[in-house]
Homo-oligomer: A and B are copies of this chain.
Amino acid sequence: MNESVKSKARPGATSDREEGGAFDPNFGADGLATCVTVDASSGDVLMVAHMNEAALRATLATGIVHYWSRSRGALWRKGDTSGQTQTLVEMRVDCDQDAFLAFVTVGGDGGACHTGRRSCFYRRVETVGETARLTFIEAPSANG
């Protein structure tokens, strides 16, 4: 995967997928692709989850973000339980179309993490020599 894709300048599956206008999502052997979800107003990364084709379709059709819950093995309309509905503002796809970037507006209390925090990435990895520890950068919210 490098400049050869472009310099060959001939049509091909990789080139089409990377340089074309066709949306041809590349779900893995498990039927899933990664979705990175970002707060549309702050630009902060909120969470990483997975979508299968049904979740992607439902997201694009309704404008409400759906994932595939690997732990429950079920389609998951985020916010159905928590109220933290994610309204899609913009969806992007990466070069090889196996990852999505969803810009969202979060409903409810504005959180995305099941722990009650705004973002799932609430801890920083700190290394001291060969040891790594975690430092909290976001405390749990009141409803956590």
Q: Of B44, B114, B134, which contacts A1 at CB under 8 A? A: B114
Flag if A133 contacts B21 (CB, 8 Å).
Answer: yes
Contact A45-B101, Cβ < 8 Å, known A23-B134, A95-B115, A114-B3: yes
Q: How many residues of A contact B (CB 8 A)?
A: 55
Flag if B45 contacts A115 (CB, 8 Å).
Answer: no
Smallest beta-carbon distance A55→chain B, Å: 14
Residue of chain B at shortest CB distance from A48: B99
Contact A20-B134, Cβ < 8 Å, known A34-B34, A81-B2: yes
3 A-B pairs with the lowest CB-CB distances in the bound complex, closest first: A94-B120, A92-B121, A91-B125
Q: Which residues of A contact B (CB under 8 A)?
A: 1-3, 5-6, 18-23, 34, 36, 38, 43-45, 47-48, 60-61, 71, 81-82, 90-95, 99-101, 113-117, 120-125, 127, 130, 132-137, 140, 143-144
